Amino acid sequence: MERRRMDAALLVLLLGHLAAALEVPLDLPQPPTITHQSPKDYIIDPRENIIIHCEAKGKPHPSFSWTRNGTHFNIDEDTNVSMKPHSGTLVVDISGAKAEQYECVYQCTARNKHGTAVSNNIVVRQSRSPLWSKERINPIVVQEGVSLVLPCRPPAGLPPPIIFWMDNNFQRLPQSNRVSQSLNGDLYFSNVLREDSRNDYICYARFPYTQTIQQKQPISLKVLSHDPADERKPTFLVPSGPSSSKTVLRGQVLEMECIAEGLPTPDISWSKVSGELPAKRTYFLHYQRTLRIVNVSESDAGDYRCTARNKLGTVHHNIHVMVKAAPYWISAQPRNLVLAPGENGVLTCRASGTPKPSITWAMNGIPIENSPKDLSRKVEDDTIIFTDVQTGSSAVYQCNVSNPYGYLLSNAFINVLSEPPRVLTPANKVYQVIKNHPALMDCASFGSPIPKITWFKDSRSSTLDGDPYILHDNGTIEIHTAQAHNAGKYTCVARNSLGKEENHILLEVKEPTRILKQPEYKVVQRGRSAVFQCKVKHDPSLVPTMTWLKDDGELPDDERFYVDSDSLTITEVSEIDAGVYTCIMNTTLDHDSASAELTVVEATPTPAVVTEQPDPPTDLELTDQKKRSVQLTWTPGDEHNSPIMKFLIQYEDSLHHRGHWHNLTEVAGTRTTAHLKLSPYAHYTFRVLGLNAVGLSRPSFPSRVYKTEPAAPDENPTGVQGLGTEHDNLVISWKPLTGLQSNGPGLHYRVMWRQKAVNSDWNTASVANTSKFVVSGTPTFVPYELKVQAVNDHGAAPDPAIAHGYSGEDLPVAAPNNVQVMVLNSSLAEVHWDPVPSKFIRGHLKGYKVYYWKERSLHKHNPHHVEKEILTFSGNHSHGKLPGLHPYSLYSFNVRIYNGKGEGPPSPTQEFETPEGVPGAPTSLLVTNTDLDSLTLEWNPPHVRNGRITGYTLKYQPVNNSNELGPVEELALSANETSVTLSNLRHSTRYKFYLNAKTERGAGPTISQETVTIMDEAMPASPFRNVNSSVGDDGALISWEYWGPEKSVYVEYKLQNSEGEEEWQKELVNGSQNVMLKGLKGGLSYRVRLVAKGHHDQPLHQSQELLVKVPAVASRQVDIATQGWFIGLMCAIALLILILLIICFIQRNKGGKYPVKEKEDAHTDPEFQPMKDDDCTFGEYR
């Protein structure tokens, strides 16, 4: 007993050491540690390669082996299996094998010379998604009101499938407290209704691993409603009987269901007989039919009751729940131990379960009872105690905790090392905390024996121990409430028996972020603007970010929402903008937030108002005055019924530009402050103007003068450039600074220059009141580096950037060499030359110019030409083309280079000849000696011959009166001919002639001419034949045949007996053979003729006149007897009379069949009156 008490005391003594255990750095010797492995129950996709993970670390790096179903798995013998390099992970290539072959139990072993670690037993099973068995499902016919179960019975899959019911259109079937799905997938009806009839109740099973969906054959349901169903009290369909039991494992999900039938539909409720339902872990599903409790614990065991009730009664069912537990860790699982020689330690494997699990130990994968004896080691149930360990005792211990519901396997090593301290926290790490918040500074370390950590601050006068410092076992020091004076430099020192090491830590304490002005509750009329202010104070060294939320969500993506640095503006507010708005100011360390509600109300109808520009702002004040900035505040003027959209801030600098106001900045109309950035050495006066929809207000009264102190210039002149105006100078110019940019008095410029590519010092000159400086005596066209620096009485601007320039140019002194010409065709040549070396250019190369001119044509008839042309080729070209040359000509040319100063000397003049081209058109083509069947053509040669004329080509063809062309005749004529006589032509026919000249290069353009041969005397003089007329309702139709050459043909007409010289009316009828004359007056006669006119509208031919008589048009008087409406009216009257006669006849014969005289004798009533006219009979008078 005493020995047991001593061991227990030793155990308590060592617990502190256990809590302080650390990871061993990987550069130190250590046994293997498994870092990653596949899950115990490993379900794989059969379509993909199988990957069984096993990763481990150690020093030296461990080697790996595997067992399969408890025996050694020789990976080399299986060609489908490979192991990843530097890893124990197995990869099974299933392209050459079936996945079923590898459904086994696997265990990985990682070993090095310090020990062996093993993985869990990994059970590999492939997922399965089997097809539904084929079945024939008969239609279901039931009476309305009865209960019904539609079975699903999906195929068993791995893992089990997810069940849902849908129709043919893949729409989920509606469920309710009357119709719902059970946990096993069946569809339950507490009672059926007529609307449940349908033929597409389909159960679907989705298998999650393979992402496949299988469907059952559709079920057809028909509900009959012959007689109304009787109401009945509830009974349970699931579960059966008054009670049942259920077992669930700790930590899993408990699901219980009660499905009842009845009419009306029963309501389901749940309760726990032996206590209360756990509110935070309890959920009711499927319309209260399912009770789900998540993360089950032992306290959830007991009796549960489900109750089904309707108006006819109540029924109960009790479910007894038993909670079992697979093994689980009570405290942390065993942790690695690092001990120095001679130290003591403890490995604890403390777990629980229901039923109580058994615990077994192994060392390096071998049961501990079969391992070598070690006097420093003692096993007591769930604990191994190590006493006075020595080098060489390193090993990996396995703790296995198991019961019928599962097991836990944990590896923990003991590593015996002698190692001086090392601090693992990075050196000079900076910690930032907010004032009045906790500060935690780490000093992670490693050593064996475990180092002791001490902390110092700044001068290291004493260790930090006690209030306000809390030192944790892992070396972290904590300040519970950090203050500004806690900021500074901290030092942590790690010591053990083998040495010490220290590290420095920096702590910064920041001011908290606070919202000084919170947004306020607002009631805004629809269409107006709402502005929420959110002014924040934060530590200046932290970067703030302002975020606005609406109803805890993002602001709408709407341009009406405008976020400023300290406000949110919503314009044209509508009802959808109502809600709670929150401003959140975030920094990297903390945040603050505030909220306000916006209520939108209808705008109150008001009479039309007159809007005006706003009144000027007032009460200008300058605050927060700094060297280069100031804060300007003001009070807005009256808006005059039009909201101010923005404020314009202007300034006057009375020191440099008195009396002139300049725009400085603009701010939103909701702002009344502006932070203004200023320049040194200025006397500022500010004023503010407001702008609304009407216009700008008058300026406010100026603020007081704010003078900024002078300073050295901030910037240097811009636009620095250098170029020469003469061949021996350099002009340096720049854009001078303005008075406001000078920043102080005494502004001048320090001009610096030196030759580029020459190691020389800068030359310097100071100038004032100018923007250029001339350097004389420079070499011609040499590159220079330039700088211009602004300087005033308070210092110089920053070192200026280097600009580049060149001294003055001079004319080039060399001409291009190796000039050659290549004639490409009769009008294009290409000139080539060698570029002029840069040393002879003496300036910026602008390009080359080719001077060329036509000396003369190679044809003896063309005169001499000396008219020079110039083609310019910009840039560093070495060739160029000369277009537009005259064929068959002699040209001269030379080439010159030019720079910014001018042209250089020309190259030696050269000549070239252009080849022949096609000639131009003959100068003229005339028709002479026209006869009945012949004529003569005369022409002059082309003015532009472009070579030697080798002949002419003449083509001609007839043209009929419809301008259609006839067959073409062609003649080849010699070069010396200038006329030709054509015979055998048709008389009275128009001909068209085409003539062109030819050279060796080809034929040139044509010249054309038309003429008509003389008419045959036997033919009538007039070209018009068969002129006829006919008169119809639409007018007089005139038709004819025309055989003349003229194109202008008219029809002319006028009255037969016209008085005086009435002009002929005419219509142009070119290309036509008839015309309809409209608008002729009836009863009159007209003279009509056809006229063909030539040039200048002179009549050449006319036809004989026709006399056209237009008949008179009969007066169109309306004969009412032939009008349809009149005939219809008469028929209606006749029908009405016939009907009246029939009625009278019927009335007349109502008295009987005896004669009138007998009727009179039988009725001797003295008051008898003759029948009235409206009885349709004649009365009898006595």
Could you write out the DSSP letters of every residue in 140-156?
EEEETT--EEE---PPP
User: Which segments of 302-366 does DSSP mark as H helices, in order?
Assistant: none
HSE-up of residue 195 (Cα within 13 Å, Cβ side): 5
Please count the other Cβ atoms lying within 10 Å of the Cβ belonging to residue 1042: 24
Residue 1157, helix vs strand vs coil: helix
- Residue 278: is the preceding peptide bond cis (ω within 30°)? no
In angstroms, the CA 339 to CA 416 distance is 5
> DSSP characters for 316-332?
EEEEEEEEEEEEEESSP
Q: What pTM value is reported for the model?
A: 0.51
**Running DSSP on this structure, what letter comes out for residue 407?**
E
Q: List the one residue out of 1009, 991, 996 whose CA is nearest residue 934.
A: 991
Distance of CA 322 to the CA centre of its chain: 57
* Predicted local confidence at residue 6, as pLDDT: 35
Please identify which residue in the block is written with the tokens 């999650």. 208
The helix or strand, by DSSP H or E, that contains position 1134, with its residue range, turns out to be helix 1124-1148
* Predicted local confidence at residue 1113, as pLDDT: 65
In angstroms, the CA 750 to CA 57 distance is 68
Residue 10, helix vs strand vs coil: helix
The number of residues making up the chain comes to: 1182
- Phi-psi group of 956: left, alpha or beta (phi > 0 → left; psi -120 to 50 → alpha; rest → beta): beta
Q: List the one residue out of 339, 331, 394, 333 whose CA is nearest residue 17.
A: 339
Residue 576, helix vs strand vs coil: helix
Whether 1073 and 1043 have beta carbons less than 8 Å apart is answered as no
- Per-10-residue mean pLDDT of the chain, 1182 residues long, equals 38 36 79 94 88 94 94 90 92 86 93 94 89 84 91 87 89 90 92 91 87 87 85 92 92 94 93 90 92 94 94 94 93 89 92 93 92 88 91 91 94 92 92 94 91 87 82 91 91 92 92 88 90 86 90 91 88 93 93 93 74 90 86 88 92 90 92 91 94 92 92 92 91 91 91 86 91 91 92 92 92 93 91 92 91 84 68 89 90 93 92 90 87 86 88 89 81 89 83 91 90 61 76 83 73 77 78 80 84 65 81 58 74 88 76 39 38 38 34
In angstroms, the CA 100 to CA 92 distance is 12
- Phi, psi angles (nearest 5°) of residue 596: -155, 155
For 32, residues 6+ apart whose C-beta sits below 8 A from its C-beta are 56, 57, 58, 62, 110, 111, 112, 114, 115, 116, 117, 396, 413
Evaluated on CA atoms 850, 851, 855, 859, the torsion sign reads positive
Residue 1092, helix vs strand vs coil: strand
In this structure, are strands 429-434 and 395-403 parallel, antiparallel, or unpaired?
unpaired
* Predicted local confidence at residue 414, as pLDDT: 93
| Sheet architecture: strand order including 254-257 | 254-257, 290-293, 282-285
User: Residue 927 pairs with which residues in a beta bridge?
Assistant: 937
User: Residue 690 pairs with which residues in a beta bridge?
Assistant: 647
Whether 809 and 871 have beta carbons less than 8 Å apart is answered as no
Whether 160 and 208 have beta carbons less than 8 Å apart is answered as no
